[in-house]
Copies of this chain bind each other. A is one copy, B any other.
Amino acid sequence: MSTNSDQKEVLEVNERFYKALGRRDIKLMDTVWVKDSRSGCVHPGWTMLQGWQAIRQSWENTFDPEDQLDIKLMNVNVEIKDNVAWVTCIQELIYIKRDPVVMNISQSTNIFERSESGWLMVLHHASPIPITHFEITETQLQ
């Protein structure tokens, strides 16, 4: 049986993942994941990276502290069964430091496992929603 407390904890780790993504904070990202070969990550438009080492390397390759993001989550839904949870949401990523500002919208599925140290992400699958993938100028944002 899942409890309201489980739901809250799963959502907290889900939000921590997006905070780490937005701030390009690899150390915070380290606290989110299951760190073994079962971990999987699908960046929008890519095939899945298998295993924590490959996933962490992909963050290291792309995280530039100067390239901060504003992230908004929509349609957030949590399902929990036994020691597994999955969160689905639409993630709106705005690269606020780029000129022109870039916005990417993706549909995400995030799977978490309950461990001794709390809930940890074991799979992140983000897929582009092309119809709403567009560039906007900073002027349009004001």
Using a CB–CB cutoff of 8 Å, the interface residues on chain A facing chain B are 38, 40, 42, 44-48, 50, 75, 77, 79, 81-84, 86, 88, 90, 107, 109, 111, 113, 122-123, 125-131
15 examples of A-B residue contacts, CB within 8 angstroms: A40-B77, A42-B107, A42-B127, A45-B127, A46-B129, A47-B75, A48-B88, A81-B83, A82-B82, A82-B83, A82-B84, A86-B111, A107-B127, A109-B109, A109-B125
With the chains together, A82 CA to B115 CA distance in Å? 13
| Pairwise interchain contact B83-A45, C-beta atoms closer than 8 A | no
Closest Cβ neighbor of A85 among chain B residues: B84
| Pairwise interchain contact A45-B79, C-beta atoms closer than 8 A | no
Say yes or no: A107-B46 contact (C-beta < 8 A), given A83-B82, A122-B79. yes
